[in-house]
Amino acid sequence: MTTAPSTTEVPAPRRGGTSGRRRLVVVGNGMAGARTLEELLARGGGEMFDITVFGDEPYGSYNRILLSGVLAGDDDEEGIVLNPREWYADNGIDLRCGVRVTGVRTAAREVVDATGAVTPYDVLVLATGSSSRVPPMEGVRRADGSLLPGVTGFRGLDDTRGLLDAARAHERAVVLGGGLLGLEAAHGLRRQGLDVTVLHSPAHLMNQQLDAAAGAVLRTSVEGTGVRVLTGTRASAVTGTDRVTGVVLPDGSHLAADVVVLTAGTTPNTGLAEAAGLDVDRAVVVDDRMRCGGAPSVAGASPTDGVYAVGECVQHRGVVYGLVAPLWEQATVLADVLTGADPTAEYRGSRTCTKLKVAGVDVAAMGLPAPELPGDELVVVAEPSRGVHLSAVVRDGVLVGATLLGDVSRTPALQQAFERGLPLPERRLELLLDLGGGAGEGDVADLDDDAPVCSCNQVTKGAITGAVAGGCTSVKGVMDATRAGKGCGTCKGVVGRLVELAADGALTEDPSVHWYVPGVPLRKDELVREIRERRLLSVSAVFAALAPGGEPDAKSSMGLTSLLRTLWPEDFEDERGGRFVNDRVHANIQRDGTFSVVPQMKGGVTTADELRRIADVADKYDVGMIKVTGGQRIDLLGVRKEDLPKVWEDLGMPSGYAYGKSMRTVKTCVGSDFCRFGLDDSTQLGIDLETRFQGLETPAKLKMAVVGCPRNCAEAYVKDVGVVAVGKGRWEVYVGGAAGASVRKGDLLATVGSAEEVITVVGRFVQLYREWGNWLERTYDFVPRMGLDRLQKVLLEDAGGLVAGLDADLEQAVAAYRDPWQEGREPVTPGQFRTALPLVPLPLVPRRAAGAPGGTSVADIGSDLAAAAAGPAGGAA
């Protein structure tokens, strides 16, 4: 039951941490929690508080909105990071990453976390967000309360990774809910190649934002992508015992599915607040200063003094928001309140304008989706064949709602009219169409200064033109300065047009778009020259010499580490803070905090002895799963960090580099030794290439393959470097291929007459990519950027006179190769292999064993493999 929060703010008593500052604890490191921290720091909060943040996801903060892009393969995980873990350390924030808070004791002013540790606070901010709602369906949960394997929400990075994994292994998905999230999930899974059906119980899609006509147009667009849509129906039960097999519809029919995604609403995470006695209704109740309410204590003062909440877990004036723009407004007010930057700051609620890209379709919606009263006017423009449906609802001459589907160019003008009740044009169609014949530029020129442009970050036209007047004349500069376009990104076009207009012909391109890393203002070639001339051997030396004010920048460290290793293979001074955890411990971190270990198997060839050792290691260290990888190696999944050195020692095999931005693996087919089509010895050439290039740092991961004839059984045409035997000792070398989220056939760089020449040409290409490729630029972008013609001139004709240098640099790098797993025997730092975090139990990652009921032991699998390896080595690639 709701009670109104106290309206008199009692300042939190100053108890002080070791520094004498007040202790601020934030629970939840999602978009609202992280934004609150940024706003606090911007107001000097770093000097006022000792800040501790608990986030039960094992990451820094990331842009949750872009998970849809990750699922669809349009974004990668690195691209969605908002603040990496180093950012917290750099700002003096104690980030308890991967740690869940389990209790709040308001009377004692302390929180208890899952490790049992108790952390006192003077000020507490709850930013716990929401979870996917689990509809009440028979069979959806197992006896222990966990979701049936194969049933998942779509809320966090782990859900997204799970969906991507499922997409690789399965074929059919059912998405429950045809709102924003459901359509995003369906779109992503369809893009990953699954058969997808959306079940939506209301009569039309996105019924909360769209009227029936717009919903029908959206449905046509969604179905056009191959997604099946069933409206007016719901799943009444989930079938399957060990894993989901489908859902049952109310008419008793069964819809088969290997994956079921729960996107029919979210539930605010209020458990902590409820248990602590705070006011909770549909969510945690806050007042206009984001304070929580609760029963007064016997001592008279409320135990909720100093307790605040922000984000999706919050209910303000009866409203629970599910979009970022209002949450960021809340974060701003809360930072003003906590730091005293604006003593009068109050949050009065938000009028939301939803601007989204749903399943590839632009959507903007505000206010009423359809007329409600008899006198309401409806203005509609529809072009169903182009997927466009625009409508506006006018009441008493004022815009009270608008829905734009497929063409959102009129959004800023409509939003301005909607939010401020502006007079509307006589010809109502002008609301939705630019009848003056302008190309949209007139639109933005006509906007008032306080017209909102970026709804996510509440940036107005005035703020954008003000930034331009203040000297920012590039689109990126204005976006950085105002944050416009940095939420869902749908307003970037309007921001660009506004900057162009305001700069009045003086538009510049921000040079930082060409910098190798954000914290050092130099292009890659300039940076390389400076590093070489000044002989800068460490990341900190680069920052000291080349960054503005000598300031380190956490987002730049990994890229610089990679570059320095490329430039100084022998002399590079390694500062381990510059590495991602995978590179620090030479293994790939998994969702539960354990690691995957992939030993090297050159060219995909192994021996019975190696397989026996792998089986012994798997048994000894209780490995969760043994998996044959797509790169023709064997992956031991579920190894604990502290066991890594012993695992490597027992394996006695070098690292397969399955974790780094480096040369990963060379796949081969069996080639001429065994295959009747084989034109040459692809296996041996694959082994030779892997021996030559093993472990080489590259701007992004690099994969190779060699095949014995153009039948291409090991997929050489779609690798970063692919080599194809074409007979009579000749080989074709392809570069820039891809077969992941992007698919590209490589370009034929050269046809050469011997295996030795292959190694030479490939070496020159790899070294050029190492030296000229941008950080995280895959070869499928690098090759088109350079142009095949130019690459051929540089590498084959030595047009720039670079070849001798490339050969020499590569030789040095190859000579510097050391197996990183040797480090296991001598840890570089005392904590290198110590587990810092509690491992998260992972119900969604079952321990798998091949074979019959009752399971096959790890040793059995190992001996099966060993037996297979001991037999003839020919067969499938």
Ligand X SMILES: Cc1cc2nc3c(=O)[nH]c(=O)nc-3n(C[C@H](O)[C@H](O)[C@H](O)COP(=O)(O)OP(=O)(O)OC[C@H]3O[C@@H](n4cnc5c(N)ncnc54)[C@H](O)[C@@H]3O)c2cc1C
Name the residues that contact ligand X, by CB under 6 A.
27-33, 54-57, 64-65, 67-68, 100-101, 127-130, 154-155, 181, 184, 269, 272, 311-313, 322-325, 327, 356, 456, 488
**Whole-number minimum distance, CB 607 to ligand SF4, in Å?**
21
Q: Which does 531 bind (CB under 5 to 8 A by kind): ligand SF4, ligand X, none?
A: none
Cα pseudo-dihedral 564, 565, 569, 574, rounded to 10: 90
SS3 403: strand
421-425 long-range contacts (CB < 8 A, ≥24 apart) are: 423/397, 424/394, 424/397, 424/398, 424/399
Complex with ligand SF4: residue 213 or 716, whichever CB lies closer = 716
Q: Which does 452 bind (CB under 5 to 8 A by kind): ligand SF4, ligand X, none?
A: none
Complex with ligand X: residue 199 or 276, whichever CB lies closer = 276
Q: Which does 567 bind (CB under 5 to 8 A by kind): ligand SF4, ligand X, none?
A: none
Q: Which does 269 bind (CB under 5 to 8 A by kind): ligand SF4, ligand X, none?
A: ligand X
Let me know: does 232 contact 64? Beta carbons within 8 Å: no
Please identify which residue in the block is written with the tokens 């480096």.
662
Q: Which does 172 bind (CB under 5 to 8 A by kind): ligand SF4, ligand X, none?
A: none
In 3D space, the residue among 516, 604, 602 whose CA is nearest the CA of residue 562 turns out to be 516
Complex with ligand X: residue 33 or 84, whichever CB lies closer = 33
**Whole-number minimum distance, CB 678 to ligand SF4, in Å?**
4
Which are the contacts of 367, defined by CB distance < 8 A and separation ≥ 6? Answer: 351, 393, 399, 400, 401, 402, 418
**Whole-number minimum distance, CB 746 to ligand SF4, in Å?**
15
Q: Give the residue nearest to ligand X (CB).
A: 30
**Cα(775)–Cα(256) distance, rounded to whole angstroms?**
43
Q: Could you tell me the two tokens for 161?
A: 């990774």
Complex with ligand SF4: residue 596 or 682, whichever CB lies closer = 682
Would strands 452-454 and 459-460 be described as parallel, antiparallel, or unpaired?
antiparallel
Q: Could you tell me the two tokens for 211?
A: 């009227």
Complex with ligand X: residue 32 or 696, whichever CB lies closer = 32
Q: Which does 678 bind (CB under 5 to 8 A by kind): ligand X, ligand SF4, none?
A: ligand SF4
**Whole-number minimum distance, CB 682 to ligand SF4, in Å?**
6
Q: Which does 32 bind (CB under 5 to 8 A by kind): ligand X, ligand SF4, none?
A: ligand X
Q: Which does 184 bind (CB under 5 to 8 A by kind): ligand X, ligand SF4, none?
A: ligand X
Q: Which does 713 bind (CB under 5 to 8 A by kind): ligand SF4, ligand X, none?
A: ligand SF4
Judge residue 153's burial from the number of C-beta atoms within 10 Å of its C-beta, 0-12 exposed, 13-18 middle, 19 or more buried. buried
Residue 439 CB-half CA count within 13 A: 2
Complex with ligand SF4: residue 218 or 713, whichever CB lies closer = 713
Give CA separation, 331 vs 65, 251, 271, 790, in Å. 17, 47, 21, 51
- Helix (H) / strand (E) element for 325: namely helix 324-339
Output DSSP code: residue 4.
P
* Residue type for position 201: S
Q: Which does 461 bind (CB under 5 to 8 A by kind): ligand SF4, ligand X, none?
A: none
**Whole-number minimum distance, CB 674 to ligand SF4, in Å?**
8
| Backbone phi, psi, residue 361, to 5° | -110, 130
In 3D space, the residue among 266, 269, 843, 776 whose CA is nearest the CA of residue 591 turns out to be 843
List strand residue ranges (DSSP E) for 604-699, in order: 625-628, 634-639, 663-668
**Is there a binding annotation on residue 454?**
no
**Whole-number minimum distance, CB 668 to ligand SF4, in Å?**
8
**Cα(606)–Cα(611) distance, rounded to whole angstroms?**
7
**Is there a binding annotation on residue 97?**
no
* Residue type for position 192: Q
Complex with ligand SF4: residue 194 or 721, whichever CB lies closer = 721
Please identify which residue in the block is written with the tokens 């209790």.
103
Complex with ligand SF4: residue 394 or 675, whichever CB lies closer = 675
**Cα(668)–Cα(738) distance, rounded to whole angstroms?**
16
**Whole-number minimum distance, CB 132 to ligand X, in Å?**
8
**Cα(362)–Cα(357) distance, rounded to whole angstroms?**
4
| Backbone phi, psi, residue 837, to 5° | -115, 150
Q: Which does 356 bind (CB under 5 to 8 A by kind): ligand SF4, ligand X, none?
A: ligand X
**Whole-number minimum distance, CB 527 to ligand X, in Å?**
35
Complex with ligand X: residue 123 or 601, whichever CB lies closer = 123
**Whole-number minimum distance, CB 755 to ligand SF4, in Å?**
15
Output DSSP code: residue 147.
B
**Whole-number minimum distance, CB 96 to ligand X, in Å?**
8
Q: Which does 55 bind (CB under 5 to 8 A by kind): ligand X, ligand SF4, none?
A: ligand X
Give CA separation, 98 vs 38, 52, 62, 587, in Å. 20, 13, 14, 19
DSSP for 788-819, please give it. HHHHHHHHHS-TTS-HHHHHHHHHHHHHT---
**Is there a binding annotation on residue 709?**
yes
Complex with ligand X: residue 98 or 695, whichever CB lies closer = 98
Q: Which does 671 bind (CB under 5 to 8 A by kind): ligand X, ligand SF4, none?
A: ligand SF4
Judge residue 300's burial from the number of C-beta atoms within 10 Å of its C-beta, 0-12 exposed, 13-18 middle, 19 or more buried. exposed
Bin 256: left if φ > 0, else alpha if -120 < ψ < 50, else beta.
beta
Radius of gyration from C-alpha coordinates of the chain? 29
Complex with ligand SF4: residue 72 or 709, whichever CB lies closer = 709
**Whole-number minimum distance, CB 217 to ligand X, in Å?**
19
Complex with ligand X: residue 210 or 601, whichever CB lies closer = 210
Q: Could you tell me the two tokens for 726?
A: 């074409």
**Whole-number minimum distance, CB 110 to ligand X, in Å?**
14
**Cα(22)–Cα(140) distance, rounded to whole angstroms?**
45
Q: How many CB atoms lie within 10 A of CB 519?
A: 21
Cα pseudo-dihedral 484, 488, 492, 493, rounded to 10: -140
**Cα(575)–Cα(540) distance, rounded to whole angstroms?**
8
Q: Which does 670 bind (CB under 5 to 8 A by kind): ligand X, ligand SF4, none?
A: ligand SF4
Site residues (vs ligand SF4, CB under 6 A): 669-671, 675, 677-678, 682, 707-709, 711-713, 877
**Whole-number minimum distance, CB 734 to ligand SF4, in Å?**
14
Give CA separation, 376 vs 365, 405, 417, 827, in Å. 17, 21, 16, 73
**Is there a binding annotation on residue 713?**
yes
**Cα(731)–Cα(755) distance, rounded to whole angstroms?**
7
Complex with ligand X: residue 98 or 246, whichever CB lies closer = 98
**Cα(94)–Cα(19) distance, rounded to whole angstroms?**
14
**Whole-number minimum distance, CB 669 to ligand SF4, in Å?**
3
Task: Indicate the annotated binding residues for siroheme.
Answer: 713
Task: Indicate the annotated binding residues for [4Fe-4S] cluster.
Answer: 669, 675, 709, 713
Task: Indicate the annotated binding residues.
Answer: 669, 675, 709, 713
